[in-house]
Structures are given as C-alpha cells and as structure tokens.
Structure 1
Amino acid sequence: METSSTLILSDSERSEGKAPESALAAMALKLAPDGAELSYRDHIELLKDDLDFEEQGDAIYLDHPDDEARLLWAFHRPSGSHPTQVGDRNTDVAIMAFNHSRLGALERFIRLNPAVIENPDLRRHIRNRSRMLFRALVDNDFSELLEVLSLFPVFVDQACDQMINGRIWNEHYATALRGSQFLELSGALCNDRLVEGVIRRLRPLKHQTFDEAKALLVELCDQARKLHPKIKEHYVEEFDTWMKREKLHPLQMIVLTKQIALLKDSHV
C-alpha cells in the first residue's frame, strides 16, 4: 500500500543536510512485529541489520516515486548519497544528495540539478558544502578549480573567499598561468587581497636550483603575454631577491638578468 506525501523541508534542514521528520504515513515495505505499517525511516533502520544494506536500499529507494523516500535514502545511504541522486528531479532531494555526496567537486557540480545552481534561494542551501569543496580546490594546483568556475561562474565569489581566507594545507602549487586565469575569471572581484591569495599559492623560488629557476623563468617569459601583470611583477621581485641570495657564477647572473628583463618589459 502507498500513501501520498508532500515533501516540505525547512531552510535549516536543507542547508545542514538533515533528514526531515516524517509526519505522514509511507509505503508498508515491511511490517513491524505488531503488524503496523513501517515508515520509510523505520524501514531503512531495519535494513541496516542486513549485510547488503546499501544494495537493498538502492534497489528500493533510488527510483522510488515518492520524493520523501528518495530524500531519506540520500541522507541515510552509508557510503554517501548515490551519484544519480545529486541530479534528482526534486530539488530538495538533489540538495540533500549534494550535501551528503562523496563525489569530487567537479563531478558533483556537473551532476547537480541545474535548477539548484540557477536559483539563488536554492543555491544557498548548498553553500556550506560548496565552501568546503572550494577550500579543497583552492588548496591544490587550480586545474579542477578552473574547470568548475569555467562551467559554473556563479560560484566565483566562494572561490575568491577561500582564496583570500583559506589556509594552505598542501604544497600543491599553482602555475603562474593558472593563477592568471583565475584572476581573469574573478572579474570585478579581483583586488589586492585576492592577488595576494593567489601569489601565496604559487611555487616559491626559495629552494630551487639554478637549473630549476632558469627553466621556470624561461617558461614565464614564453607565457608572458598570458600572465596577469601582478603575477609578472611578483616573479620579477622574486627573482631579484633570489639572485641576491644565491651565490651564482657571473655568467649565470647574465643569463637570468636578460630573461628577467624580458619578463619585466613584456606586455599583456
């Protein structure tokens, strides 16, 4: 037997990824010992005792006609919501699945129901999880970050916030070119603090050998017309400081000085 159910979530339940308290009857998939019907929630609790809990749950709930059933499964599924649930036709289910997914950032945003991305009121319910995703994207080499922002520029404000305020946990440095591409994507949000945040995530020269530094400088000169002016200025200063600190042969100094002059004089 199946009864209809209207799915209504509060703002806090959406944003925090909480399963709603069901006030309505649900399909009697199993019966309690006293013969009473089980709610979806109670049925899922019973399934937890089975070794193939997730497999059974997927078979029953992934394509369930009742939105509330799919919503609860997105919350209770042991290995995180199923990838297909992130694109669920019901935006409440999609939001719940996005917030409980274990997918990487790019795939998660690609799979997300477009209605959630396009609607500011819905988008704010994934803001906390999105912030965590952009924190990880920023603390990497910017490759996936740029892909996400190219496809979904509406999230650029969150990326900029993490670029400015996020801590650096990993030594996965971005290239000067990717840093420049990010600053270009930031548009009107680009300011001195954002530039500083990007520069903090570029590979430092501190421990580089002469050959490594020379190779980097050649690369920068080759890409000069594609680099943001502030990033070029940063590297000119970095190389000046590095050369003063290192004990270089006069011929090595000449080689680097010529390359630095090319970088300094280049125009975007």
Structure 2
Amino acid sequence: MPERRSYTTKGRLTEDLGKIEQYRNILEKDVFQNDEPHWRRISKNTITLFQVLIDQDLHDLVLVLEHYPRYTEWVCEHFRYAYSYSENRADIDAASKLLFLGEPYFSKQFVRNVVRKLPQVDEWSLEEIKHFATQLKGNEDSWHPVIINHYCDTIIAYTEEKKLHPLQAIALTAPIKKISRKATYDYDADDRDAVLDIPYMN
C-alpha cells in the first residue's frame, strides 16, 4: 500500500534542499550538449546518476528535474532504456509529478514504463485496495489522469479476475465509479514497444 510522506512541509523542504546539494556536484560539472545523440548529450556520471534515480521511487528524480529542468526531455527519452527496474516501486505522487513535467516529451514507452513502476494492486489486501480506491477518488484532481485511469481500470479488472463476492466488488469499486475520468495520452500500442523489455535504438 503506498505510504504518504509524513514529514511537515518545512521538514520536507529542508530534506529536499539537502538532497539537491548532494547531487549538485555532479550536475554542475556536467556539460549538457543538447544537439548530441542521447548517450553523448550528458556525462557518464550524470547518466549513472539518473539511472540510479529512475531505479528509486522517483521522488528524488522529480526533485532534480524541478531544479534542473533542462534534463527533463533527456530523462523522458531515457525511460526508453529503463527496461530493468529493481523492486523499488514508484511513489505515486512523484510519478504523477513526473508525468506532468514530461508531458511535452511523452512517448508510449516513457509513459508505459512509468506506469509499470507504480505500486501493484495485486500486492495489496482487499482492505488496502478499498482504502486506496477512496484515496484515488480524493486525488482525482491532483494525480495525473494517466495514473487515475490506470488504477480505475486495474481495480475494476482485479474485481472481475478474482471473482469477488458482489458486495466486496461493490465496496472496492464504489469510490472509483464517482471519479470523472479525463481523456489523456493513449500509451497502448501493438508495436514492438508494447512487449519489448530490452533496449533498442533506431
């Protein structure tokens, strides 16, 4: 079940500033070459940093992009190669912010790989799913529509797949049936991106 960060706004800002300082040494030394191909646009140290940040829960990744927006397009493109994640699931708030930041650079594989990194409904208990459905309703105007729609579809599919008792299914789906779904980016595809789990280059 995704956990909300419990620290205060002041404490969060202090912590975030400390984290930015630890990344600043690498980022300030980087020579960003916007006209170069993907793998030559930034230094090897910066590539490694972003690979580590993508592998984590995305909170620090978003923090870096908010302070260094010039890397946003590169990061969105790099999700094309981010095919092998660790067990670290994304923080949903951070994933939502990343999608909003990345909207000008959306590609199907970028959005799909962000969605793949989200916490999985089938890893939760029925009570946790019920609680999350209520949380989803409460965040329908703040979380990115890609995330809202994904979880609405996933929870409905879960209730059908598990053949739950009708009352259980109603309890799980009641909050999301009140959500006004918004049209958003269509990241479904039948192309090679849809099932490919290894990187490739055009």
TM more than 0.5: yes
Query: 1:131 touches 1:158 (CA, 8 Å); kept in 2?
Result: no
2:99 to 183, 188, 213: 183
* CA shift for structure 1 position 241: 1.2
What displacement does 1:171 show? 1.6
Provide the residue aligned with 2:169 in structure 1. 253
Output aligned runs, 1:201-216, within 5 Å.
Answer: 201-216=117-132
Structure 2: distance between partners of 1:108 and 1:127: 17
Once the two structures are superposed, residues 174-194 of structure 1 have per-residue CA deviations (whole angstroms, 9 ceiling, x without a partner) of: 133221100111141123222
Question: Highest relative contact order (Cα 8 Å, sep 6+), 1 or 2?
Answer: 2
Distance across 2 between alignment mates of 1:125 and 1:198: 22
Q: Is the 8 A contact 1:180 1:231 kept in 2?
A: yes
Match of 2:156 in 1: 240
Point out where structure 2 has 5 or more consecutive residues left out of the alignment. 1-17, 184-202
Match of 2:24 in 1: 110
Contact 2:89 2:118 (8 Å CA) reproduced? yes
Give the direction of change, closer, same or farther, for the CA distance of 1:234–1:111 in structure 2 (3 Å limit). Answer: same
Matched with 2:194 is: none
TM-score (norm 1): 0.53
Unaligned runs of 5+ in 1: 1-103
Paired residue type of 2:86: N
Q: Whole-Å Cα distance in 2 between the matches of residues 113 and 141 of structure 1?
A: 20
How many aligned residue pairs are there? 162
Contact residue 53 and residue 60 of structure 2 kept, 8 A:
yes
Please report the RMSD computed on the Cα atoms of aligned residues, expressed in angstroms. Answer: 2.8
- 1:100-139 mapped onto 2 (5 Å cutoff): 106-112=20-26, 114=28, 116=29, 120=33, 126-139=42-55
Identity %: 25
